[in-house]
Structure 1
Amino acid sequence: MGNFKFLLVLFLGVSFSSMAQSQKEAYLDKVQTLDDTLATLYGVISGEKGEQRNWELFQFLFHPDAKLMPSVKNQKGQVTARYLSVDDYIGVAGKSLVENGFFETEIHRITDSFGPITQVFSTYESFRSKKDDIPFMRGINSIQLLDDGSRWWIMNIYWTQESEENPIPKKYLPKH
């Protein structure tokens, strides 16, 4: 009976490992181009109130050492950055995204590349529902990416929200 349990555990471990690997392989088409990677980023965090997000796919987009860094004002009113791992971000923001509904839409992009590295200034609008016409927030995501020859990796996202004292400059807004 001991050998049977061992074989069963071994089989289940290999099966779950293979299943996890095949799920991740299914995500490879989402990181083959810069456009696909960014569309997936915005798509995976967006959803109606009560709609669960695919955090496995979200994690797949990011390099293991990636950081997500919102700029924030501290208690003294000084602007600083908060450094989050991908898992930290999921823990901090995940519940709120589901409880309140959240859609982030890219409205303009400026891209600079050199060799395998790319910097994107991605201007966004945020909504609580797809049905909303007016965003409750806008800002700019500064996204650093690496093309390793087989896929794109998000290395970091550093962002700030628009405010009255910090409006988005016209060069980062769509031309009308």
Structure 2
Amino acid sequence: MKNLVLIVFVVGLFSYGQNNDYAKKVESLDSTIETLYSVISGDKGEARNWELFKYLFHKDAKLIPTGKTKEGLHGATFMTPDDYIQRAGKWLVENGFHEVEIGRNVQTFGNITQVFSTYESFRNKSDIEPFMRGINSIQLLNDGKRWWIINIYWQQETDDNPIPKQYLKNE
């Protein structure tokens, strides 16, 4: 019985410390966005912290990439954070992926915030030219205690649809 109590105590301390560390990651809008980008980024072979990734999101959150379908129409795919991990997690580790924010446009009303976060994507930290750019439309809620990501809706830049200049800088 003493061993069981000790195990529960140690696990509780470990969890408490992790949640305290994680709580710092969502205490401000900036820390939440910075954590989002850092947690999906890493070199080839580098594991991602999917527990922290999921901690950023509200329980009903969606990740929604958009782009052209095979038929040439514009469409969207709706995923939970777990769906995203299943679909992209292995690819991120096998290929290396660093997403870097290069511009941010923020609008807030009450406890809701909409962020247009312009990004560039690289395979390695040392890459000079991005292989992709786009805009993440991130909707967040501040519940009075922390920031929650409600949705991330994104589109990649294409030759037909370049990123407008106003989204290439911070406002």
What TM bracket, shorter-length normalisation? Answer: over 0.9
Shift of residue 142, structure 1, vs aligned partner = 0.0
- The counterpart of 2:101, out of the listed 87, 106, 117, is 106
Partner of 1:124: 119
1:8-27 matches, cutoff 5 A: 12=7, 15-16=10-11, 19-27=14-22
> Equivalent of 2:88, from 87, 90, 93?
93
Indicate yes or no: 2:131 matched with 1:136. Answer: yes
Residue type matched to 1:158 in 2? Y
Q: In the alignment, what sits opposite 1:51?
A: 46
**Matched residue of 1:163: which SS?**
coil
Offset of 1:16 from its aligned partner?
Answer: 3.4
How many pairs does the alignment contain?
Answer: 170
1:160 aligns with 2:168: no
Structure-1 separation of matches of 2:126 and 2:66: 28
What's the TM-score once normalised by structure 2's chain length? 0.92
Give secondary structure in 2 for the equivalent of 1:27: helix
Counterpart Cα distance in 2 of 1:37 and 1:130 = 21
User: What is the SS of the residue equivalent to 1:57?
Assistant: helix
| Structure 1 CA distance for aligned equivalents of residues 68 and 11 of structure 2 | 44
For residues 105-126 of structure 1, the C-alpha deviation after alignment (integer angstroms, 9 at most, x for no partner) is 0000000000000000000000
**Structure 2, unaligned runs of 5 or more:** none
State the identity %.
Answer: 58
Q: Which residue identity lines up with residue 51 of structure 1 in the other structure?
A: E
Structure 1 segments, 4+ long, off by >6 Å, are none
**Residue of structure 2 in register with 1:67 after alignment:** 62
Contact 1:125/1:137 (8 A) holds in 2 = yes
Which letter does structure 2 place at the counterpart of 1:167?
P
Distance 1:169 1:33 in 2: 27
Bigger Cα Rg: 1
Whole-Å separation in 2 of the counterparts to 1:17 and 1:87: 24
